[in-house]
Amino acid sequence: MIRRAREAGVQVVDLRFTDLPGTWQHFSTPISELSEDLFAEGIGFDGSSIRGFQAINESDMLLFPDPASAFVDPCLEVSTLSLTCDVSDPVTGARYSRDPRYVAQKAEQYLGKTGIATTAYFGPEAEFYIFNSARFDQNAHEGYYFIDSEEGIWNSGQDGGTPNLSHRPRHKEGYFPVPPTDRLQDLRSKIMLAMISSGIEVEVHHHEVGTAGQTEIDMRYNTLTRMGDQLMMYKYIVKNVCRQHGYTATFMPKPMFGDNGSGMHVHQSLWKEGQPLFFDAKGYGLISDTARWYIGGLIKHAAALLAFAAPTTNSYRRLVPGYEAPINLIYSQRNRSAICRIPVYSKSPKAKRIEFRAPDPSANPYLTFAALLMAGLDGVKNKDEPPSRWTWICTSSSPRSAST
């Protein structure tokens, strides 16, 4: 990796790690400092200045770069190699318990010890909004926020210094229109290409339901810790490419009243020695007993999971009826109001997965994915049956559904 970085003309090495709330932190060093010693001995930083980390009297901490995480940053002018790091205690030499990446790695290690499966795959769908402006303040004499987007339907009557060219999606009508209504096609493509150049496999990008630039770019599924790394890269690349083109991107779960919020539906599946465990041709939604019990664990622990998966007060502005957010503590094939949905796009055993719809992109991905895996495994271990899908139907206000 060192040799290839120098051959590629890299000038700067950026060392990154994640704090407890889930924000990327970093500092940089010249390429001349990139040596085997850096990987063996680590590099120090002040842990007391990082949210959720150390007290000031125990501030010294070490970072150890993971060479497998290396990518050339597509957003910076100076050629920069980015490395994701693990955090350790310099006194004991032990991994740091509050390092979110370590939590994710421990969850994967635990999975192997259970004997239930050998690999857990995760595929988050992190939605976000792209605005032209976002102003906010709260002080002694005023409190406000103002967001604006050239694509926002509220600008249909604007009479400014430039012609109003119309073509804007109405509220809740932003799903899949072609340009010129979809004004962000090229910008999304540039974001996607930057992700691909960084080693992220992208499956699709599209405009989402909300007016004013709601967007989704889907990554191909990956293992738990690696997907945590990729989601941090994803949010970083989205924000920086948007900024380079005069936009501001936000992963706030509900930035706008009266339109869809931004979720992060997390697709999950368990595999054992290369074989998928969630498929059964005779099961409801083609899922196996293992998948159903995994869902049972997710629903049983839903209240605790939301502390990680929907961690902000704004998260609960999103979880309301009428906006495709999950509002029923049930599982169901196809139903997007269920907290656990079973996609039925494919009948292939390899494609069978479950989707937990409560998370949003304000979450720390390492902690969220680890919590989801542990809850699901608890369900499998105890053979927890989720609430019957018929319970939801029979308690419906519709007489016809009740009789069914």
| Assigned token pair, 173 | 């009508």
359-389: burial string, b at 16+ Cβ within 10 Å, e else: bbbbbbbbbbbbbbbbbbbbbbeeebebbeb
> Is 171 among the residues known to form the active site?
no
> Is 357 among the residues known to form the active site?
yes
Q: How far is it, in rounded angstroms, from Cα 162 to Cα 254?
A: 30
CA angle 76, 49, 68 (to 5 degrees): 45
- The active-site residue, picked from 357, 360, 378, 384, is 357
Q: How far is CA 340 from the centre of its chain?
A: 17
> Is 46 among the residues known to form the active site?
yes
Closest Cα to residue 190, out of 235, 120, 238, 224? 238
Q: How far is it, in rounded angstroms, from Cα 29 to Cα 78?
A: 12
- The active-site residue, picked from 6, 98, 317, 336, is 336
> Is 245 among the residues known to form the active site?
no
Helices (H), 208-301: 224-244, 289-300
Q: How far is it, in rounded angstroms, from Cα 296 to Cα 303?
A: 13
> Is 355 among the residues known to form the active site?
yes
Asked if residues 96 and 102 have their Cβ atoms less than 8 Å apart, the reply is yes
- The active-site residue, picked from 125, 259, 324, 378, is 125
- The active-site residue, picked from 16, 265, 318, 341, is 265
The CA distances from residue 143 to 265, 313, 400, in Å, are 32, 17, 49
- The active-site residue, picked from 46, 60, 186, 201, is 46
- The active-site residue, picked from 99, 108, 216, 384, is 216
Question: Would you please indicate which residues are annotated as catalytic (active-site) residues?
Answer: 46, 125, 127, 208, 216, 265, 336, 355, 357
